[in-house]
A = this chain, B = another copy of it.
């Protein structure tokens, strides 16, 4: 095995052993000095640190990880469910991911990202966890994988999920109170003059289903007719056509629309204009998320805000606590009605 020879070119300090030789101490001491714990003579430590800096030495994380049985990496999984492939650019998830990256970095963890297509790979979650590359996992969105996540949660503690909360569920979830959000949305539509409300989106997706249910609650309580569902995919290409079809089919039969996301609301606004329907005078519109786009539509969008940054912080905080052995509860964040000009 002559592998090592060329790799360790003259003078290169690649391993803790190289550094030990240079410092005239044993590898063990270098390890202790660099880890910053255990007792090490101050002078020895300084010398080693200086040498490490000088040679830009970094201990190999793989080796360290193998020995310590932890990797310093948190996995982030984005399941792409039935509505596959297009969530590619779903703004909400991507924004959440950005915040997660910042928060994990702050806590000294690296982030391993995996987008998974559950229908192609039923064991996506077990495989991610079992890879040995991650200390814990954050799942962004339950998609249609609620049951699978529940199954895994029984045997694996280091997991936190962004999504909807369900009575008695076993996995630890962080998410907005979607049902309450839906209620706020519907109430606002009504306050703005709507009487015949429709929900635009795919209620098969857990979170959307809860938003719809909340709207339904409000409608019932206010004595209105039930909220109508206008099933719509999330991908812009399909959504536009679907929305247009819905608007044509329901012409004159609805005067308030609650969309599952702001992205859909923006598209809906475009289609409403195309149909010659005035917003908010002819039709009131409320979105969900309060993404940056909500401020830029014409007119600006009334919507239900989710606090993404707080969500990311909570996800990381709960996960770290679980890594420390704690059994944490789920966290439900309050939605907030943001009134702009569409309702």
Is A298 in contact with chain B by the CB < 8 A criterion? yes
Is A60 in contact with chain B by the CB < 8 A criterion? yes
Contact assessment for B292 and A89 in the assembled complex, using a CB-CB cutoff below 8 Å: yes
Contact assessment for A61 and B113 in the assembled complex, using a CB-CB cutoff below 8 Å: no
Contact assessment for A133 and B296 in the assembled complex, using a CB-CB cutoff below 8 Å: no
Contact assessment for A133 and B115 in the assembled complex, using a CB-CB cutoff below 8 Å: no
A115 vs B73: C-alpha distance in the bound complex, in angstroms? Answer: 14
Residues of B within 8 A of A95 (CB): 88-89, 94
Residues of B within 8 A of A66 (CB): 60, 62-63, 66
8 Å CB interface, A266-299 against B: 266-267, 269-270, 273, 292-293, 295-298
Is A99 in contact with chain B by the CB < 8 A criterion? yes
A45 vs B113: C-alpha distance in the bound complex, in angstroms? Answer: 32
When each residue 70-110 of chain A gets 1 if its CB lies under 8 Å from chain B and 0 otherwise, what string results? 01010010000000000011010011011101100100001
| Residue in B60, B76, B91 whose CB lies within 8 Å of A89 | B91
A270 vs B113: C-alpha distance in the bound complex, in angstroms? Answer: 35
Contact assessment for B89 and A98 in the assembled complex, using a CB-CB cutoff below 8 Å: yes
A89 vs B262: C-alpha distance in the bound complex, in angstroms? Answer: 15
CB A308 to nearest CB in B, in angstroms, measures 9
CB A30 to nearest CB in B, in angstroms, measures 16
Is A168 in contact with chain B by the CB < 8 A criterion? no
Contact assessment for A58 and B130 in the assembled complex, using a CB-CB cutoff below 8 Å: yes
Residues of B within 8 A of A76 (CB): 113
Contact assessment for B132 and A62 in the assembled complex, using a CB-CB cutoff below 8 Å: yes
- How many copies of this protein are present in the complex? 2
Contact assessment for B102 and A110 in the assembled complex, using a CB-CB cutoff below 8 Å: no
A295 vs B112: C-alpha distance in the bound complex, in angstroms? Answer: 33
A269 vs B267: C-alpha distance in the bound complex, in angstroms? Answer: 17
A295 vs B76: C-alpha distance in the bound complex, in angstroms? Answer: 31
Contact assessment for A61 and B133 in the assembled complex, using a CB-CB cutoff below 8 Å: yes
Is A119 in contact with chain B by the CB < 8 A criterion? no
Is A65 in contact with chain B by the CB < 8 A criterion? yes
Contact assessment for B126 and A56 in the assembled complex, using a CB-CB cutoff below 8 Å: yes
Whether A295 contacts B236 in the complex (CB less than 8 A), given A88-B95, A111-B113, A112-B110, comes out as: yes
Contact assessment for A98 and B115 in the assembled complex, using a CB-CB cutoff below 8 Å: yes
CB-nearest residue of chain B to A131: B61
A88 vs B100: C-alpha distance in the bound complex, in angstroms? Answer: 10
Contact assessment for A123 and B56 in the assembled complex, using a CB-CB cutoff below 8 Å: yes
CB-nearest residue of chain B to A72: B133
Whether A61 contacts B115 in the complex (CB less than 8 A), given A88-B98, A102-B88, A296-B267, comes out as: no
Residues of B within 8 A of A115 (CB): 98, 101-102, 105
A69 vs B4: C-alpha distance in the bound complex, in angstroms? Answer: 11
Residues of B within 8 A of A21 (CB): none
Residues of B within 8 A of A321 (CB): none
Whether A112 contacts B114 in the complex (CB less than 8 A), given A56-B126, A236-B295, comes out as: no
Residues of B within 8 A of A298 (CB): 270, 273, 298
Contact assessment for A130 and B56 in the assembled complex, using a CB-CB cutoff below 8 Å: yes
Query: 9 shortest A-B CB distances, which residue pairs?
Result: A60-B132, A94-B94, A88-B98, A58-B130, A298-B298, A62-B66, A89-B95, A111-B113, A101-B115
